[in-house]
Structure 1
Amino acid sequence: MHTDRPPTKATAVWTLVITSIAGFMAALDNLIVITAIPDIGEDLGGGIEELEWTVNAYTLSFAVLLMLGAALGDRFGRRRVFGVGIALFTASSAGAALSSDIGLLIAARAAQGVGAALLMPLSLTLLTAAVPAERRGMAYGIWGAVNGLAVASGPLIGGAVVEHISWQWIFWLNVPVGIALLPLARLRLVESHGPADRLDVVGTVLASLGLLGITFALIQGNIDGWTSAPVLAGFGLGAALLVAFVRWELHTDAPMLPMRLFRSRAFSTVNAAGLLMYLGMFGSIFLLTQFLQLIQGYSPLEAGVRMLPWTAMPMIIAPLAGALSDRIDGRLIVATGLALMAVGIGWQAVIAEPGLSYAAQVAPFAISGVGMALFFAPVSALVMNSVRPAEQGIASGASNALREIGGTLGVALLASVFSARGGYGAPREFTDGLTPALWVGSGALALAALLVLLAPRQRPAGSVAEGTAPALAEPGSARHSAPV
């Protein structure tokens, strides 16, 4: 990893602040629209499928372009592309706020996702370059805590803004933050480059269209019928394009996602767990937020406040878990977090009833929040330590992409389960759909916990000398089987 000048302590602090704020802004917009969906539908029109796309347009474009964003940073300069990402995200946020119909809003949300895809993976590689190896666990923990808090607090912040101002302001809020970050990024971040010298445009197109086809089929399945021609075509064409993507990546000289990374058991298992975690978490939050509003009768702000036992935990616990991962095996921390989330969401599935009191939900919300905090803090270190320093940029992009894909699929899949077994009619009909959907989310999280435990044991982050290959404890890991 080449940097234009050696980082200092002040540079490390500024990098942590700037990348955390930028990451918070991008992560917040994953779910911030959820509490605004009723207001958006009333103002702009559109059925449930169009409103679902206000979430998925962002996560899908975010997911499929993350690895391209990492490659652009490696080639043209990570600080430079990071700044472009902030600028695009800021401009498209203004576009979303000014949207006069649902189609324009979906398009603006997709553009926001492109900006987020440029800034998010580079925020982690910029941070890695600026922070000494022995302190990266704490830095990753803070970065992870801020991003985890952003994802989970989207409903709270969105609810407060919608209730007291208007839904447009959930997007206007990004504009002054983005404008303030642009000069700070230019003046305070150290420029660095990676080894990439060519861009994988074909791979990007294949992955984008393949994921779009599958997401479209999941969303339309309950509308058009699971055996209808459009749905079957979406699944079939999407799967075929993803197979073509893998074959292309195996043979091209400049792959967007080097398949050799997956020879590392550490890299493949941790990233599979990340995809499943986002699938279970995003889908569950999407439905539980609506349960609080539509069935329990809370306003958007009241619903967000009542999720605080879940959403406040990352800020409290994740930095401590990140520091702990400098001293013990991070796999155990991540697996524990995933198991707690599975328990918390499974508990919600057991108790979901139309007349459920909020008091009965506090404990499962809190358990889910602790689990999410334990996941976000050490997982970045696990991913970055599973590859060589020269490949950390593409590893960061791949990891974030797989998680966002999980989030997109989670909203689409759990909403499909919900619609197949229930609906938005009577309260009983809602909980009839909610319960099996939450069990799907809980099952995905439990499977993720098991996958993390299959990863090889890693030495604590602080024991890895800066500039050396990741220290993994057994053959078959990136150090042994993922040549660079």
Structure 2
Amino acid sequence: MLTQSLDWRWIFFINLPVSVVAIWLTLRAIRPSERSARRLDWAGTAAFALFAAATTYAVVRAGEEGWASARTVATFAVAAVGLAAFIAVERRVADPLIDLSLFGRPSFMAVMAAGLAYNAAAFGVMPYISIWLQTVLGMSPVRAGLALLPLAATAFVVAAASGWLLHGAPHRWVIGGGLLLIGGGTLAQAVLDADSGWAALTAGLAVSGVGVGLVSPGLAGAALASVPRQNAGMAGGAVNTFRQLGFAFGVAIFGTIAAARMTRSLDAAGVDGAADAAHTLAGGGAGALRGTATGEVLRAAFASGLNTAAAAAGIAGLLAGIAALVWVRASTAPAGPVQTNTPVPVERR
């Protein structure tokens, strides 16, 4: 609705009033602890930001510029420097952003990998589906959003129900089962052809939504259960970070897969400059290609690209689900009081 009524930039501006309200509520409802607060790990934060930003940029741009291009390789090198600096800082700082020893816990690592795979498999193909709906099928932003409602609606309902019905259920079954549903639902979306409409995606989106509704709340609980109590904040922050990285990587990787398949389809149809045309098509420039290829060719190429990307995302989801069933385990963290050098629970007025 924001995109259609105002401008696409409003999807970013809308965060500002939400943030203002969140800050106001925090200052009003939470009193500072009387104990010494942990020091902010500014150096670790800066190093990780460099790593995350460079990695994301490199992966996103690699699809267009090439994975072996000088810019991509240089950006990955910057990311490696950022990661090395982050590890060095975290080993020495008194109050690290995250305790690196947590990554020695198999269950913690399994939860982080599940978070990465979850956002990649469930949402990595979604931007290209949205582009297909609007530029190939000619739907408005609002109608395209409504076409994706089966995923959002089922996720909303299942997330609410699972918190009540599956409270206390083993995390590996909730997360693993949810990822298997996401993988199966995404595979079920790989059924498009040149004549397909939005309804062809409905069943697969709904199945994926059930999986999203299970995994999204389950990941947070599994992350907290995989570490000692005093590291709960670190675990919660880490799983959210891995989820965001998973989305960025998924969009980039599956977009590269989709563009490669579109290139082959356009090349087989005799379109000149098939690689450039494929990137234009995947980026929403179907209208600009009308003079170089027929609508039938463009629809067939886009459908083949989406099918290949959805199949890759579905397989990733299935493999992640199997891995979660095997490696995510219940907490082995010792029970007991929170240590004195950790943040205390918030007090409300």
Unaligned runs of 5+ in 1: 1-159, 470-484
Normalising by structure 2, report the TM-score: 0.78
Give the equivalent residue in structure 1 for 2:77. 236
Give the equivalent residue in structure 2 for 1:303. 144
Q: Distance in 1 between matches of 2:93 and 2:28?
A: 37
Give the equivalent residue in structure 2 for 1:189. 30
Give the equivalent residue in structure 1 for 2:315. 443
Give the equivalent residue in structure 2 for 1:342. 183
> Does the 8 Å CA contact 1:342/1:442 hold for their aligned counterparts?
yes
Matched, 1:420 2:256: no
Letter in 1 for 2:301: E
Matched, 1:396 2:236: yes
> Does the 8 Å CA contact 1:338/1:448 hold for their aligned counterparts?
yes
What SS does the aligned partner of 2:189 have?
Answer: helix
Equivalent residues in 2 for 1:199-218, closer than 5 Å: 199-218=40-59
Could you tell me how far 1:311 is from its partner in structure 2?
0.7
Could you tell me how far 1:223 is from its partner in structure 2?
3.0
What SS does the aligned partner of 2:196 have?
Answer: coil
Distance 1:302 1:319, change over 3 A: same
What SS does the aligned partner of 1:226 have?
Answer: coil
Distance 1:184 1:257, change over 3 A: closer
Give the equivalent residue in structure 1 for 2:106. 265
Q: Distance in 2 between matches of 1:240 and 1:169?
A: 34
Could you tell me how far 1:379 is from its partner in structure 2?
1.6
Q: Distance in 2 between matches of 1:183 and 1:202?
A: 28
What SS does the aligned partner of 1:204 have?
Answer: helix
Of the candidates 283, 301, 304, which is equivalent to residue 429 of structure 1?
Answer: 301
What SS does the aligned partner of 1:167 have?
Answer: coil
What SS does the aligned partner of 2:155 have?
Answer: helix
Distance 1:273 1:213, change over 3 A: same
Distance 1:289 1:395, change over 3 A: same
> Does the 8 Å CA contact 1:195/1:390 hold for their aligned counterparts?
no
Normalising by structure 1, report the TM-score: 0.57
Matched, 1:454 2:340: no
What SS does the aligned partner of 2:193 have?
Answer: coil
Give the equivalent residue in structure 2 for 1:333. 174
Matched, 1:318 2:137: no
Could you tell me how far 1:179 is from its partner in structure 2?
4.1
> Does the 8 Å CA contact 2:192/2:200 hold for their aligned counterparts?
no
What SS does the aligned partner of 1:348 have?
Answer: coil
Give the equivalent residue in structure 1 for 2:343. none
Letter in 1 for 2:27: R
Q: Distance in 1 between matches of 2:36 and 2:161?
A: 34
Distance 1:329 1:287, change over 3 A: same
Could you tell me how far 1:443 is from its partner in structure 2?
2.4
Deviations 1:324-344 (A, max 9, x none): 342321220111111011011
Q: Distance in 2 between matches of 1:326 and 1:193?
A: 33
Structure number with greater Rg is 2
Matched, 1:368 2:208: yes
Q: Structure 1 vs Structure 2: percent identity of aligned residues?
A: 30
Instruction: Compare relative contact order (CA 8 Å, sep 6+) and give the higher one, 1 or 2.
Output: 2
Q: Distance in 1 between matches of 2:31 and 2:155?
A: 28
Aligned length in residues: 305
Give the equivalent residue in structure 2 for 1:26. none
Q: Distance in 1 between matches of 2:48 and 2:21?
A: 34
Letter in 2 for 1:267: F
Give the equivalent residue in structure 1 for 2:117. 276
C-alpha root-mean-square deviation of aligned residues, in Å? 2.7
> Does the 8 Å CA contact 1:295/1:354 hold for their aligned counterparts?
no
Give the equivalent residue in structure 2 for 1:140. none
What SS does the aligned partner of 1:312 have?
Answer: helix
Could you tell me how far 1:302 is from its partner in structure 2?
0.4
> Does the 8 Å CA contact 2:118/2:317 hold for their aligned counterparts?
yes
Could you tell me how far 1:185 is from its partner in structure 2?
2.9
Higher share in helix:
1
> Does the 8 Å CA contact 2:111/2:222 hold for their aligned counterparts?
yes
Letter in 1 for 2:261: R
Deviations 1:123-182 (A, max 9, x none): xxxxxxxxxxxxxxxxxxxxxxxxxxxxxxxxxxxxx22223443543454444444444
Give the equivalent residue in structure 2 for 1:379. 219
Distance 1:326 1:222, change over 3 A: closer
Deviations 1:279-337 (A, max 9, x none): 22231111111121122221110011111111111221112212234232122011111
Unaligned runs of 5+ in 2: 263-277, 287-297, 340-349
> Does the 8 Å CA contact 2:63/2:255 hold for their aligned counterparts?
no
> Does the 8 Å CA contact 2:48/2:83 hold for their aligned counterparts?
yes
What SS does the aligned partner of 2:125 have?
Answer: helix
Q: Distance in 2 between matches of 1:420 and 1:298?
A: 25
Equivalent residues in 2 for 1:74-153, closer than 5 Å: none
Q: Distance in 1 between matches of 2:35 and 2:117?
A: 29
